[in-house]
Chains A and B, each alone.
Chain A
């Protein structure tokens, strides 16, 4: 692996005095969800650290170079895993809801706010 260029390219963000803290809005939302759920006691921060560490190792083993730019993907994987482990929802529910959001975008005229429409399936 090349040395410095692997991280110097990324050196400017996030949370620098000059740069944005979160590179994309979903990073911020995923960050806040984990902090909020840990504060409300769904899991401890230690449990969180262990889970994200496992996710990072899993991603590295699957070929992720883990240069820091995929960090919030690990974060999101850990979040989904913990929520499932705690029995809040299962994988199918998460996927179904994700697709529902995708459809909601596609059905919303450009410029209008995107909202989920209530349905009978409970998702």
Chain B
């Protein structure tokens, strides 16, 4: 016997107990279905994530028409093409990095984020220092991520809202001519689609 049968179970943290309280009351009132909750958690843990966004970006690198359309209305197109659908009725538009402009995304209010294509945001995205500093001094914040943007390149900072969110299309790295969509996907990271990093260098 690994345990003494009389030893009690240590309660979890206070917030964990608060969540259990809410959930059990809501289930009893019929406002929440436990199976739907489990499915939501599973979906966000395993099925929705930056791999969705990487697919969209790789397609955009290969298909000019696709790229033009997601710069106008990314949410409708990706629903149509890939079946990726937003849950909060939010719109996503894609913003493209070019030789003249670098784009980076923030939500200064809370942490609105294009869940459909990137999953849930990383902790730093939700932190007050990032939310404030990327607006005040984007170049130095990007440098701290190891991303040096030349001084002659403009940096545009996009502030997300609950209704409009942004996906950055990083510049396609040199040396990837003739690459397939599947190969290109391997170069596209979550951070490159938030705009704090560049796509991976195929040589590295």
Chain A contact residues, CB within 8 Å of chain B: 1, 3-4, 6-8, 10-17, 20-26, 28-33, 35-40, 42, 45-46, 48-50, 52-53, 56, 60, 65-69, 71-73, 76, 79-80, 83, 88-89, 93-95, 97-98, 100-102, 105-112, 114, 116, 123
The reply to whether A10 and B16 contact each other, CB–CB distance below 8 Å, is no
What are some 28 contacts across the A-B interface (CB < 8 A)? A1-B129, A3-B129, A3-B140, A13-B122, A14-B120, A17-B190, A21-B120, A22-B120, A24-B13, A29-B19, A30-B22, A31-B40, A32-B37, A33-B32, A36-B32, A48-B162, A52-B110, A56-B109, A60-B128, A66-B127, A68-B123, A68-B125, A94-B18, A105-B11, A106-B8, A107-B8, A108-B8, A110-B3
Given A10-B127, A108-B8, does the pair A101, B144 have CB atoms closer than 8 Å? no
User: Which residues of B have CB within 8 Å of A111?
Assistant: 2-3, 9
- Shortest Cβ distance from B122 into chain A, in angstroms? 6
- Shortest Cβ distance from A69 into chain B, in angstroms? 6
The reply to whether B50 and A105 contact each other, CB–CB distance below 8 Å, is no
Chain B contact residues, CB within 8 Å of chain A: 2-26, 29, 31-33, 36-38, 40-41, 44-45, 49-50, 87-90, 109-112, 118-130, 133, 140-141, 144, 161-163, 189-190
- In Å, the complex CA distance between A32 and B177 comes to 42
The reply to whether B25 and A15 contact each other, CB–CB distance below 8 Å, is no
For residue B44, which residue of chain A has the nearest CB?
A: A21
For residue B10, which residue of chain A has the nearest CB?
A: A105
User: Which residues of B have CB within 8 Å of A88?
Assistant: 25-26, 29, 31
Interface of A is mostly: helix
Choose among A21, A28, A33, A105 the residue that contacts B9 (Cβ–Cβ < 8 A): A105
- In Å, the complex CA distance between A76 and B155 comes to 35
The reply to whether A94 and B22 contact each other, CB–CB distance below 8 Å, is yes
User: Which residues of A have CB within 8 Å of B190?
Assistant: 15-17
Given A11-B124, A68-B127, A110-B9, does the pair A94, B25 have CB atoms closer than 8 Å? yes
- In Å, the complex CA distance between A97 and B18 comes to 8
User: Which residues of A have CB within 8 Å of B118?
Assistant: 15
- In Å, the complex CA distance between A22 and B15 comes to 14
User: Which residues of A have CB within 8 Å of B29?
Assistant: 88
- In Å, the complex CA distance between A66 and B89 comes to 27
User: Which residues of A have CB within 8 Å of B26?
Assistant: 33, 37, 83, 88
- In Å, the complex CA distance between A80 and B22 comes to 8
User: Which residues of A have CB within 8 Å of B49?
Assistant: 15, 17, 21
The reply to whether A53 and B110 contact each other, CB–CB distance below 8 Å, is yes
- Shortest Cβ distance from B195 into chain A, in angstroms? 15
User: Which residues of B have CB within 8 Å of A8?
Assistant: 124, 144
- Shortest Cβ distance from A34 into chain B, in angstroms? 10
Choose among A12, A33, A53 the residue that contacts B23 (Cβ–Cβ < 8 A): A33
